[in-house]
Amino acid sequence: MIKFILKGIIRDRSRSLFPVLTVLLGVALTVLGYCYFSGVMTSWIQTSAKFESGHMKIMSRAYAENADQMPNDLAFIGVKNLMADLKKDFPDLIYAQRIRFGGLFDIPDEQGETKAQGPLAGLAVDLLSEESPEREMLNLENAVVRGRLPEKQGEILISDDFARRLDIQPGQTSTLISSTMYGNMATANFIVVGMLHFGITALDRGMMLADLADIRSSLDMEDAAGEILVFFDDFVYQEDAAERIAEAFNAKYSDDEEEFSPVMETLRGQGGMADYMAMVNQFMGVMIFSFIAVMSIVLWNAGLMGSLRRYGEIGVRLAMGEDKGHLYRSLITESLVIGVIGSILGTALGLAFAYYLQAKGINLGNMMQSASMVINDVIRAKVTPISYVIGFIPGLIATFIGTSISGLGIYKRQTSQLMKELEV
């Protein structure tokens, strides 16, 4: 049967070319869309984890409730003891202490008077310790576009866009004006030794990156940290494992009645990430359903047109005694074969474009000038094992539905009218 159908499809292209092209286009768009949104989600998760959320994050309960405001007055105190306990209880994880802060960045002239000022968002990480994973994790070697990385206390990095706006050069002295952990005014002098460009608009707009020890000293935060980011050792987010670790940590260390007790949240549970991830998954479902619906309607119409063109052929087959059910099933089988052919070709075409976008990406930096989300300006597709099969869902379902509906006309044919039809 399949061999017979294949011969018919190959020899009579007029009845298969349009359906194959329809399936090919729909499948290619489905595959490309899936790979693109997979790339967006993967990039978002990876970037957010490295710069903001970690795979898990430890904060004080009070800090967690106001995390968007960077409330260092609610930071966790007693980090050394907590870190020792963490490395004993969860030795396979990687930990990174962070302090987020805001302030005013002041650049003096030769007389020490203010030459330029600008607001900034600061991040303090462990830049100088040899065992620190921060330099590699934040890809600082490649992110520095001017100057160099800090080599000693008192040296900082700022974003290149921010430096150009204030006309700052490497080696220039600057002053941070901020507030301490206890609400007092804090000023500290630093030397700008390098400029960063992460390709992330939210960070490149105005960022200062300093060593953790410098900021602790400047903001009166000795043995304190706003956040402790926790990563799996392979830096791949594992949602189920993260949930189990967070539950174990909170059961042992967190106290619902104590606002400054530590609490651990997973990446998915922070900043509305769960809602965004659910939204993307729903969008993918809507996209696939839409392609199925549109292709089904198109293929239904194509099936009706094909039935009209093959009216005589179907009549002859019925006149020869072929059962209506068998004829109907043979048409559905034929459509599924066309669906498989179109799905294979469409998947190949979609993957070709997806691999190109995975390598080159699309720069959306001009569209993200006011973005607050930590996501790369260059969006790349991501080809996953599911990418190779997802196109077959709309490809086969649409052809099946389209032919099933158009083929119902077979059962309306009256055998007693066949000879009259064939004479005509």
CA gap 175, 192 in Å, rounded: 10
Residues of the chain with pLDDT under 50: 372
Question: Where among 236, 263, 283 does a domain terminate?
Answer: 236
Q: Does the global pTM surpass 0.95?
A: no
A 10 A CB-CB count for 325 gives 10
Q: Are 37 and 82 found together in one domain?
A: no
Question: Where among 215, 236, 257 does a domain terminate?
Answer: 236
**Which residue, chain included where needed, has tokens 């003891």?**
81
What's the pLDDT at 338?
83
Strands (E), 44-184: 56-60, 76-77, 93-108, 114-125, 144-147, 155-159, 172-179
**Residue 10 located in a structural domain:** yes
CA gap 188, 177 in Å, rounded: 7
Q: Are 69 and 198 found together in one domain?
A: yes
**Residue 269 located in a structural domain:** no
Q: What is the number of domains present in the chain?
A: 2
Q: 363 vs 142, 351, 357, 368, 379, CA distance in Å?
A: 18, 20, 11, 10, 6
Which residue, among 401, 399, 413, 400, has the nearest Cα to 310 in the 3D structure?
A: 413
Q: 404 vs 26, 300, 333, CA distance in Å?
A: 19, 8, 10
**Residue 259 located in a structural domain:** no
Q: Are 292 and 369 found together in one domain?
A: yes
Which residue, among 8, 18, 36, 29, has the nearest Cα to 393 in the 3D structure?
A: 29
**Residue 266 located in a structural domain:** no
Q: Are 142 and 179 found together in one domain?
A: yes
Q: Are 38 and 92 found together in one domain?
A: no
Q: Are 341 and 386 found together in one domain?
A: yes
Q: Are 35 and 61 found together in one domain?
A: no
Query: What's the pLDDT tens digit per position in 137-165?
Result: 888 888 899 999 999 999 999 999 889 88
**Residue 245 located in a structural domain:** no
Question: Where among 236, 263, 298 does a domain terminate?
Answer: 236
What's the pLDDT at 211?
93
**Residue 243 located in a structural domain:** no
**Residue 252 located in a structural domain:** no
| Contact assessment for residue 296 and residue 393, using Cβ atoms and an 8 Å cutoff | no
Q: Are 66 and 96 found together in one domain?
A: yes
A 10 A CB-CB count for 124 gives 25
CA gap 208, 101 in Å, rounded: 9
What's the pLDDT at 421?
56
**Residue 268 located in a structural domain:** no
Domain range for 365: 2-47+275-423
Q: Are 133 and 40 found together in one domain?
A: no
Would you call 363 helix, strand, or coil by DSSP?
A: strand
Q: Are 7 and 119 found together in one domain?
A: no
Q: Are 38 and 111 found together in one domain?
A: no
| Contact assessment for residue 143 and residue 196, using Cβ atoms and an 8 Å cutoff | yes
Q: Is the dihedral of CA 398, 402, 403, 405 positive or negative?
A: positive
* Burial of 409 from C-beta contacts in 10 A (0-12 / 13-18 / 19+): middle
186: which residues sit within 8 A by CB, 6+ positions away? 176, 177, 178, 179, 180, 218, 219, 220
Helix runs in 311-417, H state only: 311-319, 324-360, 392-406
11: which residues sit within 8 A by CB, 6+ positions away? none
Q: Are 216 and 355 found together in one domain?
A: no
* Burial of 280 from C-beta contacts in 10 A (0-12 / 13-18 / 19+): middle
